[in-house]
Amino acid sequence: MQTITIHGRRTLHGSIRPAAAKNSTLPLLAATLLCDGPCRLRDVPRLADVDTSLALLDAVGARVRRCGADLCTRPADRLCGDIPEHLAGAMRSSVFYLAPLLCRVGYVRLPLPGGCRLGPRPVDIHLAGLAAMGAEVELEGIAVTLRRTGPLHGVDFTLRLPSVGATMTLLMAACCAAGQTVLRGAAQEPEIGDMIAFLSACGADIQGAGTPVLTVQGGRPLGGAFHRPLPDRIAAATYAAALACAGGQIEIAGCDPASYDSFLRFLTGTGVQVSRAGDCVRLARDPAVPLRGGAHLRADAWPAFATDTAPLAAAVLLTAAGESEIYDSLFANRFACAAGFAAMGAACTVRGRQLTLPGGAVLHGTDVTAPDLRGGAALLAAALAADGETAGMKIYPPHCAGWGQRFPETARRLPLTLHHRAGHARPLRGSRPGTRPIMAAPLLKFFTFLHKVCSFALKTQSLSRPALSKRAGQAVFFYEFLAKVLKLRGKFAILINSYM
């Protein structure tokens, strides 16, 4: 676990450039499995979810490595369709491996994915679309298994809601399916356009980018491509929210203002000065002048107000004059950060998906815990407006760790006054005092290797279990024993990462 200590009431000044978007990078890494040639994703930040994705790619047999700031992949000779439970449970983005592994291997088994606790996030649209293309879907408690007996085929499919994840999954599947696929009601977020740009650079034929109807001519060979993921628009909005809370003057460069236009317009309505010039945005605010409240926001699919920026807007409105309301149409537990706001002195109320903010709060420093990635960013922004010191913001759960690692660099550029302390590796529970600490990375590599050994023994042998070699049988037994005793199912990665 990591902690960040923030000293509030300090204005921000400087220039910052958002890194590549996590929400684009993670599905692009999965999409490289479809390619027959080498791929290179440029300037990919070192995030916890990126590291998990690299471990997942390695676990299924892909060839991937870091090349400086870039990620390089090469076609794999042989892939495995079994996704390890400890990796699937560590991040929501493991769902993006359904389509590539189904197309390349012929089957895929995915334990239910993890991620931020934002309420129900079903994968039924992913499965319904793949089933329409010819996949056989089998649900088995905590996991889903997909198989195909022949190539997937094109289909005319309507998404019941514009899910970004489902649109990306079905785009990847459609590129490998025979014939034409039409996706109606598709998501239109910028990350969808980035996926289309990458697949098109690899040789795919996709029409309709930026519209709710996408047409894919499938069956074309996909080579490799060099691609730079688009800048993180949510990170840009986070920096803008920090400025609104703290005051000062900053420049956000290298990120198209149109990608977070709704948030910039919201800030303008609160009294923040916003000017745009090309891919740069300059923001200024006098902290002596109160912000204007009275906002009524509804977070929804693009091009509406982005759900990931809803907690940031809440942080800005805590001290604004006038009551405001924010409703999130997509996630039931988006405002888990409200408990942290209340601890700082804000009288906010959550009713279902709606957050009500009376405004005019006088915030004070206290200990708070980040409930999820975006909620943690909102608490940090609010702490910048608090009197005194927010004594310790704990970065938890583990998938928030990458955000905590990036923030000190942001602080140096703006600059912010804070102290950052990363958690240190400690012995697992039950270790004797004085024993050597067990580090997370070697453990993850060990269990990834062990899973590959077991999968090979079970999937490639046509013999029954008693006929397996002695060592393979012992490996299978050992892994199954650990899975049962430790109850892996997504919890093992959380246990390990919590000691980092």
Each as own residue / partner, the long-range contacts of residues 404-408 (CB below 8 Å, 24 or more positions apart, any chain) are 404/2, 404/4, 404/370, 404/376, 405/2, 405/46, 405/47, 405/48, 406/19, 406/45, 406/47, 407/4, 407/380, 408/4
In whole angstroms, what is the distance from residue 235 CA to residue 272 CA? 18
Alpha-carbon span 202 to 110, nearest angstrom: 26
> How far is residue 358's CA from residue 191's CA, in Å, rounded to a whole number?
34
DSSP line for 220-255? ------EE-PPB-HHHHHHHHHHHHHH-EEEEE-SS
Cα 34–chain centre separation: 21
Residue whose token pair is 């070699």:
469
89: which 2 tokens? 């449970």
Element containing residue 139 per DSSP (H, E)? strand 136-140
Number of Cβ atoms within 10 Å of the Cβ of 303: 12
Q: Are 453 and 473 in contact (CB under 8 A)?
A: no
Name which of 321, 391, 304, 404 is nearest 360 in CA terms: 321
35, 80, 103, 116: the catalytic one is 116
CB atoms within 10 A of CB 460: 9
The answer to whether 116 is a known catalytic residue is yes
DSSP-assigned letter for residue 80: -
Q: How far apart are CA 267 and CA 265, in angstroms?
A: 5
Rounded Cα distance, 107 and 84, in Å: 14
Catalytic residue numbers, as ranges? 116
